[in-house]
């Protein structure tokens, strides 16, 4: 989802002083912000959505029509919030995919009515399902003026409407730095700032880079954990095979007395070690595929998880399993092959 927003997205959030719709109007002026393509303010609050005997909790987000384009959203059914809805403070709502499913199942709810925090709202559309961090599947979207005056807003000095954040779409990725300068200049003038800024501008590309770094760190961490697990598992296999060699010393002596060569003994114990790890690999693949399939498309920790198991993953897992068996089975096998036949036959 974050990648889907694009690297030409900027987000402005307040710190000491609130951002207002007056700031939004100033940012929309092409005379002062020629690098900006669209500006979408938003207000967020939590609410209870109720219909008949079904109730669900959801994030209620107040937006303007530009929000659809700035956030690269698509409609599954119906229409999005329009300018007339914002101007008239209309009590209309666009449901996220998961909220719609929770309330109406697979039915199209467009045109139906729900109650949000006790107020009657008409559903005008449903957003297409998304995935990943930042998904709106578990949210409901209403006009920003409705959110402010009907649900969550607190008036600020001057009677303006405060907003939680402002999402800004830049005309081109190459203009991001220029757009940041324009935004800072406009808001500083609007807030009459002479010292430190009372707002922060976030660059979507910086967020993407941060997530990439975190992902790489996670990959290294998981790789290290996997490596340690393989080492511990391999040592366990080696110990099991050493115990097996000790318990089967007399059997080894009998095989040697009957003409078995060292390579035959080595092959026997290496094969046994490989079969052990191969069986463990099969169980691991089955459990892994089952878990991946089980969480695919489910909402966990506030976001929808999307998993994909390609054919190369089970193959790689089995190759690694066999490799562990070969590597850690060699020492016990060689030790078994080097036993003295006479001493082995005397062993009890």
| 260 confidence band (pLDDT: 50, 70, 90) | confident
Q: H or E segment at 15?
A: none
pLDDT confidence of residue 6? 59
- Averaged pLDDT score across all residues of the chain: 86
Q: Which residue has the higher pLDDT, 345 or 37?
A: 37
| 153 confidence band (pLDDT: 50, 70, 90) | low
pLDDT confidence of residue 140? 94
Q: Answer yes or no: is pLDDT of 53 > 70.
A: yes
pTM for this entry: 0.63
Each residue of 272-314: pLDDT tens digit? 999 999 998 899 889 988 888 888 767 665 556 677 778 888 8
Burial class (CB in 10 A: 0-12, 13-18, 19+), 258: exposed
Q: What is the mean pLDDT of residues 214-240?
A: 89
- % of the chain at pLDDT higher than 90: 38
pLDDT confidence of residue 2? 44
Each residue of 101-117: pLDDT tens digit? 999 998 999 999 999 99
The rounded distance, in Å, linking the Cα atoms of 225 and 229 is 6
The rounded distance, in Å, linking the Cα atoms of 178 and 37 is 13
Question: Token pair 């169980």 is at which residue?
Answer: 283
Per the document, the length of the chain is 348
The rounded distance, in Å, linking the Cα atoms of 136 and 80 is 13
Residues 6+ apart with CB under 8 A from 293: 307, 309
| 4 confidence band (pLDDT: 50, 70, 90) | very low
The rounded distance, in Å, linking the Cα atoms of 3 and 160 is 34
199-148-128 Cα angle (round to 5): 90
The rounded distance, in Å, linking the Cα atoms of 88 and 91 is 9
What is the maximal distance between C-alpha atoms in the chain?
A: 102
CB 173 within 8 A of CB 8: yes
């Amino acid at each position: 989802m974050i990648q889907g927003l694009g690297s030409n997205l900027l987000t402005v959030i307040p710190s000491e002083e609130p951002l207002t719709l007056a700031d939004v109007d100033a940012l929309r002026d092409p005379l002062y912000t020629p690098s900006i393509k669209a500006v979408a303010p938003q207000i967020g609050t939590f609410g209870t959505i109720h219909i008949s005997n079904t109730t669900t909790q959801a994030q209620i987000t107040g937006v303007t029509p530009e929000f659809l384009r700035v956030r690269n959203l698509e409609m599954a059914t119906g229409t999005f919030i329009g300018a007339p809805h914002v101007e008239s403070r209309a009590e209309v709502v666009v449901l996220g995919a998961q909220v719609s499913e929770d309330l109406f199942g697979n039915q199209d709810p467009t045109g139906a009515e729900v109650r949000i925090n006790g107020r009657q709202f008409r559903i005008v559309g449903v957003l297409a399902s998304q995935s990943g961090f930042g998904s709106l599947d578990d949210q409901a979207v209403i006009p920003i003026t409705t959110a402010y005056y009907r649900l969550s807003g607190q008036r600020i000095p001057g009677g303006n409407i405060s907003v939680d954040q402002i999402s800004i779409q830049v005309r081109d990725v190459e203009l991001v730095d220029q757009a940041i300068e324009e935004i800072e200049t406009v808001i500083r003038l609007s807030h009459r700032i002479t010292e430190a800024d009372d707002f922060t501008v976030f660059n979507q590309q910086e967020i993407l880079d941060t997530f990439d770094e975190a992902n790489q760190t996670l990959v290294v961490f998981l790789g290290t954990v996997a490596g340690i697990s393989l080492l511990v598992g391999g040592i366990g296999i080696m110990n099991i095979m050493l115990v097996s060699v000790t318990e089967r010393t007399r059997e080894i002596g009998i095989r040697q007395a009957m003409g078995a060569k060292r390579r035959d003994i080595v092959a026997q114990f290496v094969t046994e070690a490989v079969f052990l790890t191969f069986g463990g690999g099969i169980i691991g693949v089955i459990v892994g595929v089952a878990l991946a399939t089980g969480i695919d498309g489910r909402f966990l920790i506030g976001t929808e998880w999307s998993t994909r198991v390609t054919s190369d993953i089970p193959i790689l897992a089995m190759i690694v399993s066999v490799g562990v068996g070969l590597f850690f089975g060699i020492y016990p096998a060689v030790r078994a092959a080097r036993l003295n036949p006479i001493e082995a036959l005397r062993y009890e």
